[in-house]
Amino acid sequence: MTRPPDSGRRRFLAGSMIAGGSLLLGGCDRLSRSGAMQPLFDASESLTQRAHRLLASRESLAREYAPEDIAPRFRANGTTRPDEAAYQRLAADDFRDWRLRVDGLVERPSEFSLAALRAMPSRTQITRHDCVEGWSCIGQWTGVPLGDLLDRVGVRAPARFVVFHCADRYRGGDSYYESLDLREAYHPQTLMAYALNDATLPIANGAPLRLRAERQLGYKMAKYVMRLELVDSFAHLGGGRGGFWEDRGYRWWAGI
Ligand SMILES: Nc1nc2c(c(=O)[nH]1)N[C@H]1C(S)=C(S)[C@@H](COP(=O)(O)O)O[C@H]1N2
Ligand SMILES: [Mo]
């Protein structure tokens, strides 16, 4: 005889996950990916978020440097001045009308002005940027931890990736975009940065807002970010490989 779904057992599982804490999280994360735990996670989304945060914060930090290591001028690469009219209009007014849209698999689709982002708790870090073209540069970045932003809008359980939609078409071609999985998105050094070396982020380096994902190669760090989209798959975007350069053969996982 098959037994009906046992809600008492589910309650027990939820309770033991909280009580058992991090010990159980590895297994739960695997289970959630396989889909076996989906009903439980649908019923307790904040638990999913806390699990992600715990997993991410246990992981290694990228090296941070001292103020004297900061390069006198941070190099710029790729698009250094988007020539799209919509972007130029926003830039002409110091991005007063710019809004970061956050939507997709979230509970509260939202928009954030630069002032709203600057008013949120921030993090400042001095890190080394490594470009696959063979150069590195050390700079100090200030911004909102992406995990805090995601918690504001409430990530819905099916979401697996954050997609970064940018304002520029690289060399007039396709729109630049990138993606991170939720673990990397919740890493404490993953920021939506609005300042470089204590000054407003220059246009050449991605104004008004760019991603810093310090354990990744340079091409992951989307500049001119206009929109964050939470998705369960990026197969339907661009060339389907999760990023502008990934669509041209670079690896999606660009960990260093
Ligand atoms: N929107 C957008 N983001 C982008 C790029 C780009 O061309 N457009 N280039 C990428 C690459 S290859 C690198 S190395 C870094 C360069 O950042 P920087 O200009 O601040 O040095 O941005 C990345 N993010
Ligand atoms: Mo790069």
Dist CA 114 CA 151 (whole Å): 18
Is 137 in contact with 91 (CB distance < 8 Å)? no
Residue 217 Cα to ligand 2 midpoint, Å, equals 7
Phi, psi of 9 (to 5 degrees): -65, -40
Q: Which of 74, 75, 77, 228 to mutate to test the pocket of ligand 1 (most atoms within 8 A of CB)?
A: 77
Work out which ligand 1 atom sits closest to the CA atom of 204.
Answer: 19
What is the DSSP track for 19-37? HHTHHHHHHHHHHHHHTTT
Q: Which ligand is nearest to the CA of 178?
A: 1
Rounded distance from Cα 101 to ligand 1 centre (Å): 20
Going through the chain in order, the beta strands assigned E by DSSP cover 100-104, 110-112, 123-131, 135-145, 161-169, 175-181, 190-196, 199-200, 210-213, 225-231
Domains (range + CATH), the chain: 7-248 (3.90.420.10)
pLDDT tens sequence across 74-90: 999 999 999 999 999 99
Residue from 191, 214, 217, 223 to probe ligand 1 pocket by mutation (most atoms less than 8 Å from CB): 223
Q: Which residues line ligand 1 (CB under 6 A)?
A: 75-79, 131, 166, 168, 170, 176, 204-206, 218-219, 221-224
Q: Rounded CA gap, 84 and 82, in Å?
A: 6
Cα–Cα distance, 171 to 182 (Å, whole number): 30
Which amino acid residue places its CA nearest to atom 7 of ligand 1?
78
Q: How confident is the model at residue 162 (pLDDT cuts 50, 70, 90)?
A: very high
pLDDT tens track for 31-73: 333 333 344 444 445 556 566 666 655 578 999 999 999 999 9
Q: Which atom of ligand 1 is nearest to the CA of 167?
A: 1
Judged against a pLDDT cut of 90, whether residue 200 lies above it is answered with: yes
Q: Which atom of ligand 1 is nearest to the CA of 206?
A: 20
Cα 62 to Cα 30, 163, 193, 234, 242: the distances in Å are 25, 22, 16, 26, 23
User: What pTM, to 2 d.p., does this model score?
Assistant: 0.81
Q: Please give the distance of CA 227 from its chain centroid, rounded to a whole number.
A: 11
196 has which bridge partners? Answer: 141, 199
* Closest-approaching ligand to the CA atom of 212: 1
In this predicted structure, which of 6-15, 25-34, 139-148 has the lowest mean pLDDT?
Answer: 25-34
Amino acid identity, residue 20?
G
Nearest CA to ligand 1 atom 20: 205
pLDDT (tens digit, 9 = 90+) per residue, 8-17? 443 433 333 3
